[in-house]
């Protein structure tokens, strides 16, 4: 079980890294759109501010995962419950946009389904 939890954590970290890269690409896209005058200054500033907040939150979420030891948990359910609790705490105390929590939790669910499917696939 410890190996599966470590694998879950590794894949989830990759998913958060992917979300971070997507946010960075969105910022670059808004910069291009502003330079092409296809968005107003107001829309540009609001959207880039939200995306930068998302990037900061995702970096913090990644740090939370780095601080957790999968070996401390008996099963995936207890580990994901702790991750959820820590993420919620950070959103409430750290000024993160709640949408970042939703994005991260969707990825966590995706990894959970992937790991369950891998466990049921014959090798």
Q: Along the 123 residues of the chain, how does pLDDT read in single tens digits?
A: 678 899 999 999 999 999 999 999 999 999 999 999 999 999 999 999 999 999 999 999 999 999 999 999 998 899 999 999 999 999 999 888 899 999 999 999 999 999 888 876 554
d(CA 66, CA 47): 29
d(CA 96, CA 85): 14
Q: Give residue 62's region: left, alpha or beta (phi > 0; psi -120 to 50).
A: alpha
- pTM value? 0.89
Name the residue range of residue 89's domain: 2-120
Our count of domains for the chain comes to: 1
Using alpha carbons, list the distances in angstroms from residue 84 to 26, 75, 78, 88, 107: 26, 14, 10, 6, 12
């Amino acid at each position: 079980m410890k190996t599966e939890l470590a694998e879950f954590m590794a894949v989830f970290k990759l998913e958060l890294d992917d979300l971070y890269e997507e946010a960075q690409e969105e910022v670059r896209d808004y910069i291009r759109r502003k330079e092409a005058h296809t968005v107003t200054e107001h829309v540009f500033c609001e959207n880039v501010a939200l995306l930068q907040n998302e990037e900061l939150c995702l970096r913090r979420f990644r740090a939370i995962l780095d601080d957790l030891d999968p070996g401390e948990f008996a099963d995936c359910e207890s580990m994901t419950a702790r991750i959820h609790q820590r993420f919620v705490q950070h959103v409430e105390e750290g000024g993160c946009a709640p949408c970042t929590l939703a994005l991260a939790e969707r990825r966590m669910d995706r990894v959970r389904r992937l790991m369950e499917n891998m466990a049921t696939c014959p090798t």
